[in-house]
Amino acid sequence: YPSIEGWGGIFLGLAGHPSGILLYNARHLRALSIGEILARAGYRRELVAATSTAFEKMEDWYARWFDDVRYDPSETTDEVLATKTIDLLGAAREKPLFLTLFTIATHPPLYRPPDAPAPKTPREAYLAALGYTDRQLGRIFEALRATPRGRDTIVLVVGDHATPNPWQAIRLPRLGTPNAGENWTTLLVAAKGLSGGTLRPELTSQLDVAPTLLGLLGLDVSNHFLGRDLLTAPPPPPQGVLALRFHGLAAFEGPYLYQARLDDPAFQQKWRWEVYEKEADAANGDYHHGIQETLSSADRERIAGFKRMARAWGAVLDDDRVMPPR
């Protein structure tokens, strides 16, 4: 969070910059994206986007990640984007295709479908936009199912970031950043050999997307991705996630969320995020942030360790040491 940090995690398989924005602060970083790795494996790379390459200053990155960017400022609804995606998936081609679709309806300001009633709460507005995006993704899935090629197509659906609900938004100074409302999203994987409808509740991250895709494709190639192939057998052991954003850090471990700031030694806190506050918010349901707990001396040492990790990672990025020296 913001979007560009999610893109860095998904495509580069790298954690965010602890004090800035990865794709801004490390424009000349020697790192291979999943798109560049797939290009070496013979894939054609296409992007269908709701925003121009100038949004978030992505021109240079997109030039590395994709062969073609399909963007039209007059055609940015998820319905139109889904139609473009379906056309590309069905077109004749000589190379295998790595296709990326960036939807927009659930991004603030939320898109209101023409047939949707006026929302009474922010939650209703978000669910209407989410339902609209879901229907358009359904069109893509149905189009794939109707073609022989669909049986050999891998589909990954993931959010580049979450959106704090109003309950969280008005409490940001107390909740800190990154917080649960900025980080929680989901990952859907559909591929040949995977059982439909299987739910896995364990903690994962955007850093796991690229290595999981490489595993599904059977590509055993050198890479610097920090994540793991989630579909290995046996499954990988449980692992925490350290999120970084603008000098703030959040460590998700099991039911706990630890938070601190690299620029404020006094800001340290611990939440048990799986336990919600007693009174549910009528406008947002019961998804809040958890219950704050008192920090023990062991917790404070754990947080100090997270801060050392974050600063060390920042040094790796700033010194361009993700890949070995030339």
pLDDT digits 0-9 by tens, 24-73: 877 788 999 999 999 999 999 999 999 888 877 888 899 999 999 999 99
Q: What is the pLDDT of residue 174?
A: 80
pLDDT in tens, 236-253: 888 888 999 899 999 988
Q: What is the pLDDT of residue 109?
A: 87
Q: What is the pLDDT of residue 67?
A: 95
As to burial, measured by CB atoms within 10 angstroms (0-12 exposed, 13-18 middle, 19+ buried), residue 247 is middle
16 CA to centre of own chain: 11
Q: What is the pLDDT of residue 280?
A: 56
Its pTM stands at: 0.90
Q: What is the pLDDT of residue 253?
A: 87
CA 87, CA 240: separation in Å to the nearest integer? 40
Q: Which helix (H) or strand (E) holds 182?
A: helix 180-183
Q: How many C-beta neighbours within 10 Å does residue 295 have?
A: 14
Q: What is the pLDDT of residue 24?
A: 83
As to burial, measured by CB atoms within 10 angstroms (0-12 exposed, 13-18 middle, 19+ buried), residue 108 is exposed
Q: What is the pLDDT of residue 200?
A: 87
Residues forming beta bridges with residue 158, ordered by sequence position? 187
Residue 187: both structure tokens together: 């990952």
Q: Which helix (H) or strand (E) holds 257?
A: strand 256-261
192 CA to centre of own chain: 23
Omega prior to 109 cis, within 30 of 0: yes
- Collapsing DSSP to helix, strand or coil, 167 comes out as helix
Q: What is the pLDDT of residue 288?
A: 62
Mean pLDDT, each 10-residue run in order, the chain (326 residues)? 85 91 82 95 95 84 93 91 94 93 90 88 88 95 91 93 79 82 88 89 90 95 92 87 91 89 94 63 57 92 96 93 85
